[in-house]
Amino acid sequence: MNKITYNKQYIDNKDVKIVVEALKSKHITSGSYVYSFEKKICKYLKVKHAISCVNGTAGLDLAFRGINLLPRDNVIMPVVNFIASYSMAKKIGANIFLADVDAETGQMTPDTLIDCINKNKIKKIKAVVTMYLGGYAENVINFYKLKKKYKFFLIEDACHAFGAKYQYNSKKVMVGSCKHSDISVFSFHPVKTITTAEGGIITTDDKLIASKIKLMKSHNIIRSKKYWDYDIKKISANYRLSDLNCALGISQLQKINMFLQNRKKAYLRY
């Protein structure tokens, strides 16, 4: 019996060739392929900052730390979600509240978010995490209005939604452009739109958040002009994505339109 997977990677000779080229390059980590991939993501999504990392889960951890999430801070996220955002917020010690989802889309709505706030009598919200189940971005503008009203950070768990767009003022806006959010997080696992084998990226238009995340993804090391002279003010870890992964991402990004068209065909068939 043949197994039908809900998705898997598509790798061609161009992908193989660029990864081999990266493998033969002078630096196979923190090198030119990482820089190039991040720049290409910025251009594609029309966002100011893109920081690569080892996977989407790490991206969510870095996003929470980028907004300085602290123990007992209040975070709201949808009850239907992958475990990653819950686990990363829980690891920090945040208070997590789960908002109900729409029966048809499986996504949190502005109404269920407000209902969660009222039922739990939440007075101060540090962050709300939206999650675009199936890659379809719903209620982006209305969540942004609530962000302004309640003054919380809005983080998009966009791991399903790389390449997706939403409508705003008769224009199409890329998910990940952060025009109506503080941070977006993507996964490049093999089942996602494009793959880097494992990998993820965090996007933001906020320079301060971006600078924090860039430090935290590499042990939070603050270097002086002398490379061996550095300081560490906060504990972090190594979340760097290698040049090999980023080289694959560069090649995959060139096929993004084909991948999106194939996904649309599958969607229309269903």
DSSP string, 107-157: SB-HHHHHHHHHHTT----SEEEEE-GGG---SHHHHHHHHHHHT-EEEEE
Evaluate if residue 2 carries a pLDDT over 90: no
Other beta carbons within 10 angstroms of residue 93's beta carbon come to 11
- DSSP E strands in the chain: the ranges are 49-53, 74-78, 95-99, 127-131, 153-157, 165-168, 171-174, 183-187, 200-204, 221-223, 230-232
Q: What's the pTM value of the predicted model, to 2 decimals? A: 0.95
In whole angstroms, give the CA distance from residue 177 to residue 74.
25
In whole angstroms, give the CA distance from residue 221 to residue 240.
13
Evaluate if residue 224 carries a pLDDT over 90: no
What residues does 97 pair with on adjacent strands? 76
| Predicted local distance difference test score (pLDDT) of residue 5 | 77
In whole angstroms, give the CA distance from residue 96 to residue 76.
6
Evaluate if residue 122 carries a pLDDT over 80: yes
* Short-list 68, 102, 104, 99, CA closest to 86: 99
Tokens 């991402």 sit at which residue?
249
In whole angstroms, give the CA distance from residue 119 to residue 3.
44
* Short-list 198, 182, 178, 172, CA closest to 260: 172
- Among 63-72, 104-113, 216-225, whose mean pLDDT is lowest? 216-225
In whole angstroms, give the CA distance from residue 268 to residue 261.
11
pLDDT level of residue 245 (50, 70, 90 thresholds): very high
pLDDT level of residue 260 (50, 70, 90 thresholds): very high
